[in-house]
Structure 1
Amino acid sequence: MVTVNTSKGAMAAIQDLRVVGQSMAKSQAAIATGSKVSTVQGSASSWVLAKHTSSDVSAYNRVRESIDRASATLDTAMAAGAAIMDLLDQMKSKAIAGTQTNNSAAVQAALSADYISLRQQIGLVVANAQFDGSNMLGPSPASASALGDADGNNSITIAGADLSYGTAVMQITSFSHLTAPNNASTALGLVNGTITTLGNQMATWAAGAKRLETHRELTTKIQMALDTSFASLNDADLSTESAKLKAAQMREQLATQAFSVANATTRSALSLFP
């Protein structure tokens, strides 16, 4: 039936154009942003979940960064500790030689000078064992600390140790020398004690380094899972969206033609009434 008051064909075409327009807008937004849901209006639940997952990904990035910094700080301390152990081995040799009662005065003085030089090198190693301003070996030693989770509620902390002269770990005093065999015997006892205490400290640090490594591996796995989840929630399939857009464009053309035909029918009806 042809009517001049209401064109059902035109109304159907307009409705189809509206639906097609929404579909095209959605596909165009997905192609432009690379996201399935770029705004909360698209799908509130999906948008909120994607944003929450994205926030978790960012949080675990901060966790990993803190682990990397803590590991670097601890690695610096351990490298310095290993260097000090090498110096202690050399000092032990000098001290043992210095305990000999038949050394000439010149030999004893030379041994003492070498010992003092090695002792001073330890002080330089301690002073320079810094990473990004943190020194785990100096007075009031810093700690290597990393975030334990993405909420910031837990942490992993590996304490430093004061390796200044005359401390619990660095038993050697700043004035120890080998000028006489009895002084050398005293120095040897301090060196042996320091080798033991520093060795224990190095073992503690090594355990801490392993803990940080394990935590980093776990964090990396969590990050990978979150990245995969976020991609599933957020990333648009561009080939699919492109195909949808082409199909919508074709539907738009057909709907436009249908609208034109409907209008033409109405005009034909009107022409019957000159």
Structure 2
Amino acid sequence: MASIMTNTSAMTALQSLNQTNKQLSITQARISTGYRVAEAENNAAYWSIATTMRSDNGALSTVKDALGLGGAMLDVAYTGMNKAIEVTKEIKNKLVAARQPGIDREKVQAEIDELQNQLLSIAETSVFSGENWLSVDSSATGYNSSKSIVASFSRSGGEVSIGTISIDLTTSELIDTADKSGILDKEDTTANGGVTYSVLTLDISSVMDTDEDLEDLEQMIAWVDDGLLDMTTAASNLGAVKQRTNMQKEFIVALMDVISRGVGTLVDADMNDESTRLQALQVQQQLGVQALSIANQNTQQILSLFRG
């Protein structure tokens, strides 16, 4: 039936053209943004997952920074410990040299004094970001012998958890001004002379060549050697923690990349597909416009029926 009130062909052509324009708009948006799922309305489930994972990736980036900061603190403490070991070795060498009868021990002590001052300087200046792990005051408010470095962030069943790497400072403290329990200020007393000393305070200037004094000197040498062993163990522990920190940082970086790829799989647009679809839709749009134009011309043909 030919009707001037209802143009069925034009209505069908218009619906088809509108649908094509809608698909074309979606494809153009994907090409412009690079996302297949840019908003929740595109795919609520994928958008929700991607948003959560991006948030977690941001937290992992902060964990990476925390590991870098913790690694720097460990580097400072490890460097200070190594330097302290070198200086303490020199003190031990001087003491061994002073064991030789007839040597001027006052001059040897003058050298030891400077080495002791250097040890004190190393311990007090091994500071990073206000933290000193070699020289402490265990009586200070807020003191904690256990330090922790944020090492991980994870989500399970909607619950988040933070993992840390713990460091026990009691094994690496060189000086504790509160109770003298550090490796360098820990005290001993000579068996014969009854002189109390530490690596930082020992004094051999008054040591004579008597059997008792030489025995006390050998005791000092053994005490310094014990300190060296303790510092070597402390340096090994710090090095092991530093290695773990570096490995964890590398893992966090790799994990962030994997998460980014996973999110991309969910929401990124495939530009090869979108470019092909764009060309096809542009052709469909042109054909739809042509079809609508033809359908609109059908009503003009009715006028010919009333012409004489």
TM over 0.5: yes
Q: Which has the higher strand share?
A: 2
Query: Hey, what does 1:61 align to over in structure 2?
Result: 61
1:250 is aligned, of 283, 292, 296, to: 283
What's the offset of the Cα at 1:119?
1.2
Query: Hey, what does 1:197 align to over in structure 2?
Result: 230
What's the offset of the Cα at 1:86?
0.7
Query: Hey, what does 1:103 align to over in structure 2?
Result: 103
Instruction: Work out whether 1:117 is the aligned partner of 2:114.
Output: yes
Query: Hey, what does 2:82 align to over in structure 1?
Result: 82
What's the offset of the Cα at 1:142?
7.6
TM-score by length of 1: 0.88
SS in structure 2 opposite 1:5?
coil
Query: Hey, what does 1:261 align to over in structure 2?
Result: 294
Q: Which has the higher helix share?
A: 1
Query: Hey, what does 2:162 align to over in structure 1?
Result: 153
SS in structure 2 opposite 1:167?
coil
Query: Hey, what does 1:237 align to over in structure 2?
Result: 270
Q: Distance in 2 between matches of 1:220 and 1:128?
A: 32
Decide which moves more: 231-240 or 135-144.
135-144
Root-mean-square deviation (CA, aligned residues, Å) is 2.3
- When residues 25 and 189 of structure 1 are mapped into structure 2, their CA distance, relative to the original with a 3 A threshold, is same
Q: State how many pairs are aligned.
A: 271
User: C-alpha deviations, 1:79-127, integer Å up to 9, x for none?
Assistant: 11111111111111011122333113xxx22211111111111111122
Q: Distance in 1 between matches of 2:199 and 2:151?
A: 37
- When residues 180 and 189 of structure 1 are mapped into structure 2, their CA distance, relative to the original with a 3 A threshold, is farther
Decide which moves more: 179-188 or 73-82.
179-188
Aligned amino acid, residue 253 of structure 2: T
What percentage of residue pairs aligned between the two structures are identical? Answer: 23
Query: Hey, what does 2:182 align to over in structure 1?
Result: 168
User: C-alpha deviations, 1:46-73, integer Å up to 9, x for none?
Assistant: 2112212222222222222222221221
Q: Distance in 2 between matches of 1:120 and 1:23?
A: 79
Which blocks of at least 5 consecutive residues in structure 2 are unaligned? Answer: 138-144, 155-159, 187-197, 208-212
Q: Is the 8 A contact 1:77 1:129 kept in 2?
A: yes
Q: Distance in 1 between matches of 2:273 and 2:199?
A: 74
Q: Is the 8 A contact 2:151 2:248 kept in 1?
A: no
Q: Is the 8 A contact 1:148 1:156 kept in 2?
A: no
Query: Hey, what does 2:190 align to over in structure 1?
Result: none
Q: Distance in 1 between matches of 2:183 and 2:8?
A: 93
Q: Is the 8 A contact 1:27 1:245 kept in 2?
A: yes
User: C-alpha deviations, 1:173-202, integer Å up to 9, x for none?
Assistant: 543223133475454243212112112212
TM-score by length of 2: 0.79
